[in-house]
Chains A and B, each alone.
Chain A
C-alpha cells in the first residue's frame, strides 16, 4: 500500500532564505525612492529584475527543472525587448 512505503524526502531549495532575500530587496527598493532621480530607474529595475529571477529560479523551480521550460518562458522576452525598444524610440 502506498502509505506503508517510506516516503523519500525531497531535497528542497531553501525557500525561507529566498523569501528573506525578497523581503530585503523590497525594502531596498523603498529606500531607492529617496535617492536622486537619475539613479532611480536603473536601481529599481535592477532590484525588481533580481526579485523576479529569484522567484522564477527557486519558487518556480526553473533552476532544477527541464531546460525546455526555461526556453518556453524566455522566448517571449525576445519579442518583448524589441517591442519596448521600438516604443521607447517613438
Chain B
C-alpha cells in the first residue's frame, strides 16, 4: 500500500484504506450477528443447563487478556502518532503475546471441553459453541499473523508520526475482534 497517495485527495475526502476497513467491519458485523443468532437458536433447542459445562473463571481471565491487548494496540498507535518508534514496537510485541495467550487459553479450554464430552458433532449446543467461538478464534489467529507482519515492518523503521495508517487499520480490526469477544463472553458464557 503506497503511503505516497495523499488521502485527502480522494473523492470522499476520507482515507481509502480506513474506509475500506470500516466497510469490511460492517460485513463482519453481519457475519458474527448471523453466527450469534444461530448459536442462540441452537441453545434454545438444547437442555437448559447446556452451558454449565463452560468454565467461566478461565474465560473471564481470557476476556481481560483481550481487553488489555486492545489497550496495548491503541497505546502503540498513540506512540507512533507522537513519533515514538521504540514504544510502538514494544506495544505491538505485547499485543502479539497477549493475543497468543488468549488463543492458547482457548485451545486449552477446547481440550478440556472435548475431554468432558462437549464435541462439535455430539450435540446442537456443542456444534453451535465450537462454530461461533471457532470463527472468533480464527479471526484472532489472522490478527496475530497481521501483527507479526507489522512488527517486522516496525523493526525496519517503516512507521513514523506521518506514516502510521497501517497500524491504525490493524487496530480497527483488532478492536473489532475484541468487541465480538465482549459480546460472545456475555451471550455464550454468562447468559
Contacts and interface: CB of A to CB of B under 8 A. Distances in A.
Chain A complexes with chain B: yes
Interface centre among B40, B78, B160, B179, by most chain A C-beta atoms within 10 angstroms, is: B179
B175 A10 contact: no
Interface string B142-155: 00000000000000
A10 B80 CA distance: 10
Interface string B25-53: 11101100110010011000000000000
Interface residues of A, number: 44
B29 A68 contact: no
Nearest to A68: B14
Interface residues of B, number: 47
Contacts of A89: none
B186 A48 contact: yes
Interface stretch (B15-23, B96-104, B122-130): B15-23
Given A7-B82, A16-B71, A26-B67, A55 B179 contact: yes
A13 B179 CA distance: 19
A76 interface: yes
A73 B82 contact: no
Given A29-B186, A73-B22, A80-B33, A15 B75 contact: yes
Given A23-B67, A48-B182, A59-B171, 15 more contacts: A2-B162, A8-B161, A12-B78, A40-B190, A44-B186, A52-B182, A60-B176, A68-B12, A68-B14, A73-B26, A75-B26, A76-B27, A79-B30, A84-B37, A87-B40
30 contacts: A7-B161, A8-B161, A9-B82, A10-B78, A10-B81, A18-B71, A19-B68, A19-B71, A23-B67, A26-B63, A29-B185, A29-B186, A44-B186, A52-B183, A55-B175, A56-B179, A58-B74, A59-B178, A60-B172, A60-B175, A60-B176, A66-B13, A69-B14, A69-B19, A72-B22, A76-B26, A76-B27, A84-B33, A84-B37, A87-B40
Interface of A: 2, 7-10, 12, 15-16, 18-19, 22-23, 26, 29-30, 32-33, 40-41, 44-45, 47-48, 51-52, 55-56, 58-60, 65-66, 68-69, 72-73, 75-77, 79-80, 83-84, 87
